[in-house]
Every structure is written in structure tokens, then in C-alpha cells.
Amino acid sequence: MRVDVNFTGQFWKGFIDKVVNYVIPYQWEAINDRIPGAEPSYSMHNFFVAAGKKEGKHGGFVYQDNDISKWIEAVAYSLSIKPDAELEALADDAIDTIVAAQEPDGYLNSYFILTGLEKRFTNLMENHELYCLGHFLEAAVAYYRTTGKKKLLNALIKYVDLVDATFGMEEGKLRGYPGHQEIEIALIKLYEVTNDEKHIKLAKYFIDERGKQPLYFKEEHEKHGNHYNWGNSSFGYGYYQAHKPVRQQEEPIGHAVRALYMYSAMADVAAKTSDSGLMDVCLRLWHIITRRQMYITGGVGTSWYGESFSLDYHLPNDTAYAETCASIALMFFAARMFKYNGYKAEYMDVLERALYNGVLSGMSVDGTSFFYVNPLEVLPEAVEKDPLKAHVKATRQKWFGCACCPPNIARVITSLDEYAYTTDGNRVYVNLFAESVVKTPKLEFNITTHYPWGNTITVDVQTAKPEAELAIRIPGWCENYTLSRTHTRVNGYVIIQDIAPGEKIVLELEMPVKIMEANPNVRVNIGKVAVCRGPLVYCLEEVDNGKNLHLVHLQNDAVFELFQDEELDMVCITTQGKRVCNISNELYMPVTDMVYEDVALTFVPYYLWANRTPGEMITWVQLSNH
């Protein structure tokens, strides 16, 4: 059950305000093609034309409908945080236009409405129709939950009926499934508001049918002469996770966002249909991804080619892909695994790692520029000259033609309440730490904290039913904590019972600066360490530490100091390190002892990198033996 949360304090309130006040209005301009110098979205344009309100042709990619749908979803969350009649009117108008474009049989996709309906559903593998429907469904459900308005929802339920009549196991239906998974997650959300078994059944069908022989995608592209993009790749249909039935998929493969959206829906379906075999697959995939294929920032999908998973422990820092959307998708998967597998803190540890590092890094501090790719090491000259790093940018970009990441960040930040708190019976789980006012039927409380900069979490209980329980996560990074009252500890959470109204509960998390290492099988990080504090991974930037950051060495016994930086409103970490200073002119020479000089180092949170003068950045720093 959704919890009533009002974020009040600086860190998350700041992000939410940024999204509500800047990002959502900015994105409205973007999807109406009014950002000078940015690639046009065409998203509203296409619906105006499809609805007969404007002359013109379809513009942009086949999946351009997503820009407006993700915006509506973010608006829905935004309105739940801060009512805004003007914004709601904008969204209502947009919904009117979208629904006006719907075909009589329920079909609603501006690309095929404008370019030829005879081609609809002839290239599920590449044409993103069911993906677009999925995002529209998520928007419609969110908008209905916030505003009570059903116009978009009802229009889409009609479209889902068409999809359900078209695809399925039954005689006469096509045995298809989406090329980009998303609708599966969305159908579960739809089911949660409709309670119509048809909706979960359709989600389950898409999951169960995927990858079965004869392969639908192969038959489809052969029948319609569609291009098969990945025939020469090592993953082939695995790009779409369709190389074999999902229950036989022993390892993550292919496009990371597709994969993680699907794994999330698999967990949903497994839980809601009590399918332990399917949940076992999710557990195995979770284990491999988070123990062998995840950057320390929570980035996943290491390879630019196919935006894909690659192989265990292959986590290159400088050619990383680590798409912002993939980290968001990992959060989705984590949140579901948490809910369906005993509320274990380890799932929220991964969610927190991704959120505070690989997701937040996707957006600039002013909320107007974005990273699609999140490398852990950048040498600007190499990005410019080495074609293997052509996908890496040293500075955030204004908008993308394929603008999946910016609205995805917006909707995650505006729906933070979903991740921060979970209720289960009498118990309220506090998963993330944010200043907020929380109201549940059994328990109302305020949280005060300066997390992630501060390490104290204070819970002021307002009301509490006698049976109410509070479960507060002790993060995996925290080795010692003190809690002001009696409790038990289960699955990484402290469980507090017999809560008195008016009670103040204080949790202190030991939050030292830690020098972390990677598993020795991560070849590129051998001999290197990362500096972390609390949930945050830190990095070195040229603006603070000069060029040639690869020459910097950190000592195992380094003494760290914290420093409040006003410019970026962050806590920096300073220490003394070593820098190699006897650089020979020779390229190869008999091994000698390095000569080092002392050097003052300033580490900044990874998610804040590239917000000042652009330059080099490294996350993994050489460990000195001197």
C-alpha cells in the first residue's frame, strides 16, 4: 500500500523541487520542441497531427510517444507532491489530444496512425508499440491515482483489450510479445487498479511466451521482411532476451534496460501468481547482476554495443555504458525483489547504491542537462580521440533525440515515496532516509536527518497504534550503529515495537570514510580502491586535483577530513595522497621504485561530477604501498 509522504528536508526536497519546478516545465518545452538548440522531440506534435488538430507528418523515432507519456507520469507524481492547477490543465489538454487520436478499435500509437496502420503489429521486435503502450499505461495509472481522472486510463484499457484480442495462446491470435519489455510492468500496475485478472494474465503471457520455439521474432522478420539488427552480434535474439524461454535464462544478456524491466515484471508475476520457479530465476539473475556485473555506482549494462550486459566481472571504467535508465531499471527490480522476498535490506542496499550514484549522476545540479552514459573514469582527450569511447561524454547534454533518461529520472525522483517507505501489515519499513512527514493508518511520524551527509536519523512519532511496528534499515555499508531504544534486528532492519505516541527514536549510523576494493576478478580495478562514505561513492576531479589523475595514489591508512562545500552544497572528503613524480621519458624500463610527492586530494560525490569546469575524473584510484 502506498504511504502518504511529504518530503520536507534539504537533500530530497531539493531534488524534488528541482524536478517539480524546473525539470517538468523544461521537459514540457522539450516535448513541444521549444528548446533552442536541442533535438526536437515531436512527441506532442505527432499527437496533434494524429488527432487532426494540426497539419504535418510524424517526426522522430518510432517510440517518440514515450516523451509525453513519461512526462504525464512525472506530472502525476508531481501533483501528488504539490497541487498545481495550471500544470494539471496542461496535462489534461495533452490527454485530450492523445485520446482524440485513438482509433475506433482502441489502437493508439501516433507513429502507425500517421505512417500507415496496415503496418501496425508487424514488427513487434523493433517497433516499440507495446513498449509505448506500457509507458502510457504507467502514466494513466499514476494520473488516475493522483487526480481520480479516468480519461486516459479508460482509453488505454480499450487499447489493452485490442492487444489482448490480438496476442495470446488462443487459436487465431498471434503468439507475439514486445521487442522492448515494459508493458509487463505496466499491466501489473494496471491490474493493481482494475483488479481485472485479464491484465495480469496478459503480463504473464508475454513473459511465458517469450523465447519459445518456433521463435516469434524470427518468423515475424522473415514474414514481413523486417531488418534483424543483431544477427551478427554475439547475443543475437538475446538482445531482446528472446533467445530462449525466460525460465531457462541462466544469465543476464542483451540490452540492460529491456532485461531489467522484464526481470521486474517477472518478479511481479511470480509473486502475484505464487510461481516459485519463476522467482528462482529472478533470484539467480539478481545475484549475478549485483555480485558480478554492477559498477560500484550501481551502474549496469557495461557495453555500448547494444547497451548491453557483457560478461561477469567485465566492468571497464573508461568505456562504461552504465545508462542512467539501466540504473533506474535496477531500482525497479530491487524494489520488487525486496517486497516479494522477505523485506531483506540487501535489496534496498542495491537500490540505494544505484539511486545515490548512478541515477542522480544522470542530471546536472540545475536540472537542465543529463547524462545518458555514466562512466567511472573520463579523460577528455581520450573521449575525443579514442573511438571506443565515442559514446562517453565529458559533460552533460541538454536533451536527446532518444530522450529516455531525463523523464525517467524525473519520474523516479517524484515517486521517491514508493522506495523510501513500505508497509506490510502492522509494520512500516523505512528503507531510505529523508526528512519527511509520514502518515500511515497505524503510524504517523516525522523523520529528521541530514542524510546522506549526516549520520543521525531521528524519528518523532506522532501517532501510533499499539500493534504498529517500525522497521528501519541498517545499510549494508554501516558496520556499527546505536539506536536509542530496544529493538530486534531482522534481515538487516531494526524492528521497533511498542511505539508510544510522542516518542523520539534516534538512530546513529557509523559513517566513516571507507576505502573499498573490488573483487579481484574485476581486472581493471586490481590494485585500485574507491572512496565511499555512507551510500555515496566519491571521485576525483581535475578541477580539484589537477590533471593526470592516474598518477595519484591513495594510502591504505589515509586520514580523511570532511569539508562542507557551499558551491555544490555537498560534503567533500579531503586527505593527503601521493603522486608519482619521477616520470621518465622512456616508455619501457627495468622496474624501479616509484618516487612520490605528497599531494592534497579532494574527493567529491560521484553523482556531482561534471558540474563545474569539465576535465578528468576517476573513481577507482591507485592504492599506494608506500
The H or E element that residue 243 is part of is: none
566: contact with a copy of itself by CB under 8 A: no
> Does the footprint of a copy of itself cover residue 594 (CB under 8 A)?
yes
Between CA 529 and CA 540, with CA 534 as vertex, the angle to 5 degrees is 40
Residue 547 binds a copy of itself (CB under 8 A): no
Question: Which residue among 1, 169, 559, 589 contacts a copy of itself (CB under 8 A)?
Answer: 589
Binding a copy of itself (rule: CB under 8 A), the pick from 273, 480, 519, 613 is 519
233 binds a copy of itself, rule: CB under 8 A? yes
584 binds a copy of itself (CB under 8 A): yes
- Closer to a copy of itself at the Cβ: 366 or 597? 597
For a copy of itself, the closer CB: 191 or 372? 372
- How far is Cα 540 from Cα 602, in angstroms, rounded to an integer? 7
The binding track of 182-221 with respect to a copy of itself, each residue x by CB under 8 A or -, is: ----------------------------------------
Q: If you compute the radius of gyration of the chain from its CA atoms, what whole number of angstroms results?
A: 25
| 522 is an interface residue for a copy of itself by CB under 8 A | yes
Give the x-and-dash track for 424-453 against a copy of itself (CB under 8 A): ------------------------------
Reduced 3-state DSSP string for 273-313: CCCHHHHHHHHHHHHHHHHHCECCCCCECCECHHHECCCCC
- According to DSSP, residue 504 is labeled E
Specify the amino acid at residue 220: E
576 in contact with a copy of itself (CB under 8 A): no
- 36 belongs to the binding site for a copy of itself (CB under 8 A): no
| Cβ count near 626 (within 10 Å) | 9
Burial class of residue 410 in the structure, from the number of CB atoms within 10 Å of its CB (0-12 exposed, 13-18 middle, 19+ buried)? buried
What are the contacts of 150-159 at 24+ separation with CB within 8 A?
151/95, 151/96, 151/99, 152/72, 152/95, 152/98, 152/99, 153/193, 155/98, 155/99, 155/102, 155/106, 155/108, 156/108, 156/190, 157/190, 157/194, 158/102, 158/106, 159/102, 159/106, 159/107, 159/108, 159/133
172 touches a copy of itself by CB under 8 A: no
In our burial notation (b when 16+ CB lie closer than 10 A, e otherwise), range 461-480 reads: beebeeebbbbbbbbebbee
Q: Minimum distance between the CB of residue 474 and a copy of itself, rounded to whole angstroms? A: 16
498 forms part of the interface with a copy of itself (CB under 8 A): no
Residue span binding a copy of itself (CB under 8 A) among the ranges 128-136, 423-431, 508-516, 567-575? 508-516
Judged by CB, which is closer to a copy of itself: 114, or 580?
A: 580
Q: Do residues 382 and 318 touch, judged by C-beta distance below 8 A? A: yes
Q: Which of 132, 282, 325, 404 is catalytic?
A: 404
In the complex with a copy of itself, the residue whose CB is nearer, 310 or 611, is 310
Helix, strand, or coil (residue 530): strand
Q: How many whole angstroms separate alpha carbon 405 and alpha carbon 614?
A: 21
Residue 356: DSSP 8-state: I
DSSP-based three-state secondary structure for 625 = coil
CA distance 485 to 595: 53
132 is catalytic: no
Q: Which amino acid is at 523?
A: R
Return the residue of 402, 526, 562, 600 that touches a copy of itself, per CB under 8 A. 526
Nearer residue to a copy of itself within complex by CB, 367 or 452: 452
Per CB under 8 A, which of residues 11..30 are in contact with a copy of itself? none
371-400 residues near a copy of itself, rule: CB under 8 A = 381-382, 384-388
3-state secondary structure of 583: coil
Which of residues 103 and 346 has its CB atom nearest to a copy of itself in the complex?
A: 346
CB of 529 to a copy of itself, least distance (A): 5
Nearer to a copy of itself, 572 or 623 (CB): 623
Site size with a copy of itself, rule: CB under 8 A: 56
| Residue 550 binds a copy of itself, judged by CB under 8 A | yes
404 is known as an active-site residue: yes
Toward a copy of itself, which CB reaches closer, 389 or 442? 389
Which residue out of 129, 209, 307, 352 is catalytically annotated? Answer: 307
Burial of residue 152 (CB within 10 Å: 0-12, 13-18, 19+) is: buried
Q: Which triple of cell numbers denotes residue 608?
A: 556531482
Interactions with a copy of itself, residue window 268-307 (CB under 8 A)? 290-292, 294, 296, 303-306
Give the ranges where 9-115 is alpha helix by DSSP (H).
10-18, 24-31, 43-50, 65-81, 85-100, 110-115
Distance of closest approach, residue 112 Cβ to a copy of itself, in angstroms: 31
DSSP per-residue letters across 381-444: HHHHH-GGGTT--SS-BS--SS--HHHHHHHHHHTHHHHHEEEETTEEEE-S---EEEE-SSEE
Residues 457-486 that bind a copy of itself (CB under 8 A): none
Q: Among residue numbers 304 through 363, which ones bind a copy of itself (CB under 8 A)? A: 304-306, 310-311, 314, 319
Q: Segment contacting a copy of itself (CB under 8 A): 99-107, 189-197, 395-403, 516-524?
A: 516-524
Specify the residue, 222 or 381, whose C-beta has the smaller distance to a copy of itself. Answer: 381
Where does this chain bind a copy of itself (CB under 8 A)?
233-235, 290-292, 294, 296, 303-306, 310-311, 314, 319, 381-382, 384-388, 514-523, 526-527, 529-530, 548, 550-551, 556, 580, 583-592, 594, 622-623, 625
Q: Which residues are catalytic?
A: 307, 404
